[in-house]
Amino acid sequence: MVALAETEASSLRIQQVSKSFPAPEDPLTRRPALSNISFSVAAGELVSLIGPSGCGKSTLLRLLAGLDFADAGELLIGSEPISDPSAERGLVFQDPNLFPWLTVRRNIQAGLVARGVLREKREEVNEFMRLVGLGSFANAYPHHLSGGMAQRVALARALINHPKVLLLDEPLGALDAFTRMRMQDEVLRLWQARRTTMLLVTHDIDEAIYMSDHIMIMTPRPGRIDRTISVALDRPRQRSSPDFLRLRGDILEFIHFAGNASTENKS
Amino acid sequence: MLQGEEVTGCPEVSRPAPPSHLTSGQTQPESDAIHAVAPASKLRWRTQLAVPIAALLALGVHLLFSKRVPPVETHSYTLLFWEILGVSIVLAIAQPFWTSLRRWMRHMCPIFTAAILLLGVWDVITLGFQLLPLPYFPGPAAVLRSLINDRALLLDSTWHSLVLLLSGYTLGVIAGLISGICIGWSTPVRYWGMPVLKVVGPIPATAWIPLAMVVSPSAIVSAAGLIALAVWFPVTMLTASGISNTRASYLDVARTLGAGRGYLIFRVAIPAAIPNIFIGLFMGLGASFLTLVVAESIGVKSGLGWYVSWAQGWAEYGKVFAALVIMAAFFSTLMTLLFKVRDRVLVWQKGVIKW
Ligand SMILES: Nc1ncnc2c1ncn2[C@@H]1O[C@H](COP(=O)(O)OP(=O)(O)OP(=O)(O)O)[C@@H](O)[C@H]1O
Ligand SMILES: [Mg+2]
């Protein structure tokens, strides 16, 4: 029962959240980036967020991480309002943002150092370095890495803290197809082993279907959640099964429609 | 655990070889240097002979002109050239068997040649045709003689200068780092500190000399204080700007990893500011040389600055130049040391910026 209560504490609830930014052309007016967003992610669920560029996906993740504040609305983790960043809510940024002055190994262990637990958990550093397949680059500096390698280091850096909620902003975007599929399985394995709540931003519809329990589709200007689709396929999923492909077709059709609608609105 | 193709096992047990492009980066300067035309294994005759020929030339010029001076005065100078000649011949014989020596010679021969020729030109201008007024511009032989004859006092002066410079510089750097970090990090400190910095900082430290002499009991202490002040300003300025220009995304990443304020300041902001801080350290070092020499020639009764004005008082310009030579060597050694420290600390920048 205690364990259940603990996992419940990692659910996310977003209610009527809006966020606007000063418009670049006229700093006195504000332009909405998110408007009236509401959704919830149950503890231990993996939910994907897809949508066109600029619709506010990264903004939403920053709010959930506690790096920015919403203009209106409520963001809750469990029953606690989100106010500050915390190691409980890991965020993998769209850019790897590795610390250039630290080697790969030291980048990965940064979270342990920050929380002062490096001594107890030193073995995990090796484990995560193997996980992302960068063992031989332990002592290289970030600018020696390719884009995909850097993103894998960023992923390991966030995972090493064992966050209750993991917010992923296109973490696999720069990877080649093979590594990407391998990392998808790896993330799924971690997700199942730890019952981490995950919110995954992606541009890849296959990835969204392959990985998530639900897919939320966002539309831009201002960012809203247009539709939530539940993926009722058994795991492990087959990327070429008829059900998979049918769902893929549905989502593509929907996005195409939504895209047309938004361009019509604009004109 | 899923094993990737790049997995090489536990790095704690077997230290992996550095990535190949890391090691190839170190040999690169050799391969694409200007000398790439010559086979890497051999030194060209031109390079090998440049130094001895230049030495012979300078020596010949000197012997030609030094007939009217007593031989005592030029003895050590001629000896110097015989030594250069001897050493360069020995090195030329040794270099086929010693790769790193060869690399060093390839790099250094042109610059040595130029330096020796410059000595010759100086000799011609001063001793040869006496184009510059005496006794203000002695020839290189006279300077070398002063250098050798007065070595005890020069060494002592250098030591005093070193102690004074290092104590002032260290003090200034510590103060500058502390104030720079506070101003860069904290908004209220910046609000109150920045105006003070902007008003007081640009005053040259030497302008405070009259005041410093009154305030402090000992000239040495006030000189150290002035040097510290001269160093403090650029170090503070650049540290503060480095800290406040830390990329927000680095701080964001650290905060989502659970970092507290200590980590954000000492493990994110300061490392991010290190390139800037080093610029401040270099500027501070330059300012400290200036302040040192001025303070020594005005108030302090020791050190190279004092030696110069003392020798000038006796119209011994050979000694003045000797002290200048020592100063040049002394200051450039300190600069080089700081460069070495920077290269060490900022290895991670290698490849990010033009090195
Ligand atoms: N700090 C900021 N200041 C001003 N405007 C911002 C800021 N951050 C985001 N925006 C605006 O908010 C909107 C949403 O940006 P966001 O980065 O969330 O998009 P996104 O969905 O992540 O896009 P992409 O898929 O390209 O990453 C954009 O129109 C952007 O211009
Ligand atoms: Mg984004």
What's the gap in Å between the CA of A196 and the closest CA on chain B?
Answer: 16
The count of C-alpha atoms lying within 13 angstroms of the C-alpha of B289, restricted to the half-sphere facing its C-beta, is 15
Kindly indicate the confidence band of residue A118, based on its pLDDT and cuts at 50, 70 and 90: confident
Total domain count, chain A: 1
Q: Is residue B5 part of a domain?
A: no
Same domain, B328 and B190: yes
Domain end residue (candidates: B136, B162, B192): B136
Mean pLDDT to the nearest integer, A96-116: 92
Ligand 2 centroid distance, CA of A58 (Å):
4
Judged against a pLDDT cut of 80, whether residue A8 lies above it is answered with: no
Looking up residue B291, the CATH number of its domain turns out to be: 1.10.3720.10
Contact state of B258 with A136 under an 8 Å Cβ cutoff: no
Interface mutation target, options A104, A125, A130, chain B, most CBs of B under 10 Å: A130
Helix (H) or strand (E) holding A91: strand A89-92
Number of domains in chain B: 2
* A119 part of a folded domain: yes
Ligand 2 mean position, distance from CA A245 (Å)? 26
Q: Which amino acid is at B284?
A: G
CA distance B351 to B328: 32
- B27 assigned to some structural domain: no
Both B126 and B194 in a single domain? no
- Ordered DSSP codes for A149-161: HHHHHHHHHHHTT
Domain span at residue A218? 12-256
Instruction: Please indicate whether, in this complex, the C-beta atoms of B252 and A114 are within 8 angstroms of each other.
Output: no
Same domain, B269 and B241: yes
Where b means 16+ CB within 10 Å and e means fewer, A143-173 reads ebbeebbbbbbbbbbbbbbbbbbbbbbbbbb
Same-domain status, B337 and B271: yes
In a domain, A147, yes or no: yes
User: Given B81, B105, B136, which residue is the final one in a domain?
Assistant: B136
Least confident range from A2-11, A115-124, A199-208, B132-141: namely A2-11
CATH number for A48: 3.40.50.300
Taking only the tens of pLDDT, chain B with its 355 residues reads 344 444 343 433 344 444 444 444 344 444 444 444 444 567 788 888 888 889 888 888 888 888 777 777 778 888 888 899 999 889 888 888 888 888 888 888 899 999 999 999 998 888 888 888 877 888 888 889 888 988 999 999 999 999 999 999 999 999 999 999 999 999 999 999 999 999 988 898 888 888 887 887 788 888 999 999 999 999 999 999 999 999 999 999 999 998 889 999 999 999 999 999 999 999 999 999 999 999 988 888 889 999 999 998 888 898 999 999 999 999 999 999 999 999 999 988 886 666 6
Residues 6+ apart with CB under 8 A from A3: none
Same domain for B56 and B161? no
What letter would DSSP give residue B159? H
Establish if A114 belongs to a structural domain: yes
- Give domain status of residue A261, yes or no: no
Determine contact, residues A84/A66, Cβ cutoff 8 Å.
yes
SS3 category, B96: helix
Whether A96 maps to a domain, the answer reads yes
Whether A50 contacts A218, CB under 8 Å: yes
The residue segments making up the domain with residue B267 are 150-349
Asked whether residue B239 falls in the same domain as residue B161, the answer is yes
Tell me, yes or no, whether B156 lies in a domain.
yes
Largest alpha-carbon pair distance within chain A? 60
Residue B355 forms part of a structural domain: no
pLDDT band at A176 (very low <50, low <70, confident <90, very high): confident
Chain B, 259-288: which have a CB under 8 Å from a chain A CB?
A: 259-260, 263, 267-268, 271-272, 274
Q: Searching chain B, which residue's CA lies closest to the CA of residue A105?
A: B11
Q: Which residues in B lie closer than 8 A to residue A93 (C-beta atoms)?
A: 249, 252-253
Choose the mutation target among A58, A82, A101, A165 for the interface with B, i.e. most B CBs under 10 Å. Answer: A101
B10 lies in some domain: no
How big is the CA angle at B151 (ends B149 and B154), to the nearest 5 degrees? Answer: 130
CB A85 to CB B11 under 8 A? no
Q: Is residue B326 part of a domain?
A: yes
Contact call for residues B180 and B243 (beta carbons, < 8 A): yes
Dihedral over alpha carbons A124, A125, A126, A131 (to 10 degrees): 90
Q: Would you say residue B68 lies in a domain? A: yes
Residues B202 and B63 in one domain: no
Asked if residue B335 belongs to a domain, the reply is: yes
Give the start-end residues of each E strand in chain B. none
Boundary-marking domain end, from B96, B112, B136: B136
* DSSP class of B15: P
pTM of the predicted model, to two decimals?
0.83
The minimum CA-CA distance between A264 and chain B, rounded to whole Å, is 36
Neighbours of A22 (CB within 10 A): 11
- Looking at per-residue confidence, does B140 or A266 come out higher? B140
Q: Is residue A213 part of a domain?
A: yes
| Sequence-ordered list of residues with C-beta below 8 angstroms from that of B223, at least 6 positions apart, any chain | B164, B168, B212, B291, B292, B295, B296, B299, B300
Using the atom order of ligand 1, give the atom closest to the CA of residue A61: 18
How large is the average pLDDT for residues A26-50?
88
Residues B114 and B165 in one domain: no
